[in-house]
Chain A
């Protein structure tokens, strides 16, 4: 079974400081990894994904994430946080395409990011 852990319910960071939202995963075989963001009263919006290739993935709004296979992690990062980044962030995993099996996304429970002016 695949699973995602987001160990922090909430992350607080000052505007202009770097931010990190942590995610670790468990999946059989190679993973596809995703970050989604949810703003109030909106659906989950795709930020970035790791499928294959470079371990550092760049996504929307200046966010990036680093895939670390040995640590089974996919932490979300941004060099300089903005107040508008305040939202709920979800990490998700699924097994890589193999012609059979489950392709549903498994989400973490989310991390609330608060950027303080």
Chain B
């Protein structure tokens, strides 16, 4: 299975600015996810996306966050007005083909490091 590609690898932004993180999974996969890891802490679930709709989201995923799949291939995470505590590594993931639940084994991207100043 090809890897998941994430861009940018690192982004530095000022507090209050909008940030868009991009992920290119394989277009015929149905299940996509965003996770994040604050430095030294756990990898935390943000949101899952199934069949072009949000299927599940965590408490972290508040109104400042949104996800889209604008062109059927790219999968984006937008943070509307970044806060200092949004500084983290953000991981995109997809569910693998042949998995009946679509959620058992995930293929992750290398991550996008976001630094909010």
Q: Which residues of A contact B (CB under 8 A)?
A: 4, 32, 34, 36, 41-46, 49, 51, 90, 92, 94, 97, 102-110
Contact = CB atoms under 8 A, between A and B. Distances in A.
Interface of B: 3-4, 6, 33, 35, 40-45, 48, 56, 58, 91, 93, 101, 103-111
Given A42-B110, A104-B45, 8 more contacts: A34-B105, A43-B109, A44-B91, A46-B107, A92-B43, A104-B56, A104-B103, A105-B103
Given A97-B101, A103-B56, A104-B58, A43 B108 contact: yes
Contacts of B58: 104
Contact of B4 (A43, A104, A109): A43
Contacts of A108: 42
B43 A107 contact: yes
Contacts of A107: 35, 42-44
A46 B44 contact: no
Given A43-B4, A43-B111, A49 B42 contact: no
A109 B42 contact: yes
7 contacts: A34-B105, A41-B110, A43-B3, A46-B107, A103-B103, A107-B44, A109-B41
B43 A44 contact: yes
